[in-house]
Amino acid sequence: MADTKELRQQFEARIAELMESAKGIDAELRETPNPDFEENATEMEEDEVLEELGMVALEEIDHLRVAIQRIDNGIYGECISCGEPISEKRLDAVPHATKCMDCMEG
């Protein structure tokens, strides 16, 4: 398994990036709406996309915080269902995975 100290640093860096992104999204969503009806309608559609991006960022932050907590508790890479190790391949694809593939599919 990859060095958990390095992983923790990568997760913290990613959280910082996502927080900055979320702040930018929040600032953009707080902007005063355009008084022009057609322009305002377009902005509302864009706001919906921004809100979804913000929610995805916050969800990823939550997953990464759980992964950091699992690193701190010494159980990172261990399946929460069966207790077996999560494969390197799975953790490479989904670094915040909490279940092995067998438990995910079962």
Residue-range domain boundaries for the chain: 4-76
Cα–Cα distance measured from residue 21 to residue 70, given in angstroms and rounded to the nearest whole number: 25
- pLDDT at site 106: 76
Residue 72 has pLDDT above 60, yes or no: yes
Q: What is the pLDDT of residues 5-62, one digit of tens each?
A: 999 999 999 999 999 999 998 888 887 776 666 766 677 778 788 889 999 999 999 9
| Sign, Cα dihedral of 9, 14, 18, 23 | positive
Q: Two tokens at 55?
A: 């929610």
The count of other CB atoms within 10 Å of the CB of residue 54 is 19
